[in-house]
Structure 1
């Protein structure tokens, strides 16, 4: 167990940030999953910019890697364009 006041604070901060990052990451995964299962083109086109924005914010906060976000955005865009 930590003995210094600063180390105890660091543990508290790390825990809060870990939980916040998990929430953001899980929310984004759910949004991606919902968009992937979408069959209606109109609603998929409407959802795509929101999901892309969500992924970009995760990259900005260093929760996911920028290449992972780029791959997801590319695949989702292809999926939306393929819908009839």
Structure 2
């Protein structure tokens, strides 16, 4: 348990941020999963920019690592191009 007022505040902030990050990471995983399961080229092409933007934003906020975002974007682009 926190012994100082500032430590208690830091604990509250960390918990709030952790829950937010969990939500956005889960949303991102679902979007990637939906894009990978799509077999129609038009639908996948429409989804790719949205998912790429989502990955970039999460990497910018340090929810995911920038290299992970780059790897996911690359693999998703390959998937869309192979359809």
| Ranges in structure 1 where 5+ consecutive residues have no aligned partner | none
Q: CA deviation at 1:2?
A: 1.1
Aligned residues: 83
Match of 2:63 in 1: 63
Q: TM-score, normalised by structure 1?
A: 0.97
Instruction: Provide the alpha-carbon RMSD of the alignment.
Output: 0.5
Match of 2:72 in 1: 72
Q: Distance in 2 between matches of 1:2 and 1:52?
A: 39
Q: Distance in 2 between matches of 1:3 and 1:82?
A: 57
Q: Distance in 2 between matches of 1:70 and 1:4?
A: 40
Where do 4+ consecutive residues of structure 1 move more than 4 Å? none
Match of 2:37 in 1: 37
| Ranges in structure 2 where 5+ consecutive residues have no aligned partner | none
SS at structure 2 position matched to 1:3? coil
Q: TM-score, normalised by structure 2?
A: 0.98
Q: Distance in 2 between matches of 1:28 and 1:49?
A: 13
